[in-house]
Structure 1
């Protein structure tokens, strides 16, 4: 029987993850790493989540998976930790490390209430303000305007964008391919004419090089720059993921159907019933050009 350590190793090797996901995985590894999957109980998970809530926000520490940062965690954040462990167990069943009938230890765990958040997306006019300010403030990296436009026009997650390599882009055919997505399926996005124009202005790298790399060749840590741009644009506190939500909202307001929106954003299911509809790249291109030009 596999341990949680072995499962997390396989999970992390399956695709690229953002820092928040890796931090959640590090927490669960710290809690149950050497324990066999079938031996972790709901009571164990409950105690771990209660302990997490009492410890507050975590941060990485050299030589140790996590340490307490002395800040309280929101209910939504605690829920993401529970959901992350559930995702690990679904992955274990896919790998046949557990029987399909196995009930994960997250089943029945009571989640924390989450207050509604009405401002979950960026509007087109707000995106334009961000791009305008980014052109002024981003003097060194000079890639943030293109990153913002690409995020808004494709709905790609930040992790997918920062993992893009030049070989993943076909500017002649106006496509971008994400090989490792959250749901495990490759995604080919149609690029708007404006997104292509922005990408063409960037210094072209070798096929294996990251599109949004820093001077070291590694993915650039743009969060501090993003926060400065948001503040200067009169949009303090906005997070980058709201560009993805903004993409979906812009598509919906343009009258694009739910199935097409989900195909563009790379969602796997059309509804809770699991129905899924496939759309060609040309279908996506027609929609993207209609909405984003």
Structure 2
């Protein structure tokens, strides 16, 4: 096994390993998982694996989850087919944590490239532990204990008709998470707001509000500032896809952004998302 770091902050390319083998070998999988906790996102090239092996490897991390909008391959539950070939779809090109709109957001994911354009369609991952660590001390103090709501309705639901959107919201009601979560395995503090985050729920206090209307601009400006931290290049790694490339990421400590600069060229990906825990 060879590990090559891609940036100072996040990401490593692993060679000499087939993830199909890691799905069958407990000790090899343990090595891969340890690398994931260290580098937050791992990249593997030339992974000529079957869908069964893809699902088996991801299942090593935990139970796989379905998606209420994208849906799964009927023959491989939990394997979401993200096929972009017929129309322009701008709903991935934002910095986000998968499933932040869930009570227990995704632990991580295993994403494999089936087909990609000759150029374009890269994905960016961001180290949100570093994003929190680099915040000014006064901002850390302001967001300590702060909580925020997240929702699928204002993202995926925004492209739907009224009744369909209301149905999606009813089936997936908004959830509340800490603005700064603790990673359950490393104990690190993580800045935990993204594009699914809509508003703070406990910002309106005597200390924060001088007059009644201050709570709205004050809270929204702070949320915008926190969300903008994911766009800082020093916290990022950018990966150029090739067919049979695989990315594995820790969704608890990262955000990602699918760059949509390739349409009308096709881009076909398959993702196995892994169930996570309730943030604290």
Q: Tell me which structure has the larger Cα radius of gyration.
A: 1
Structure ranking higher on relative contact order (CA contacts 8 Å, 6+ apart): 2
Normalising by structure 2, we get a TM-score of 0.24
**TM-score of the superposed pair, with normalisation by structure 1:** 0.23
Per residue, is there more strand in 1 or in 2? Answer: 2
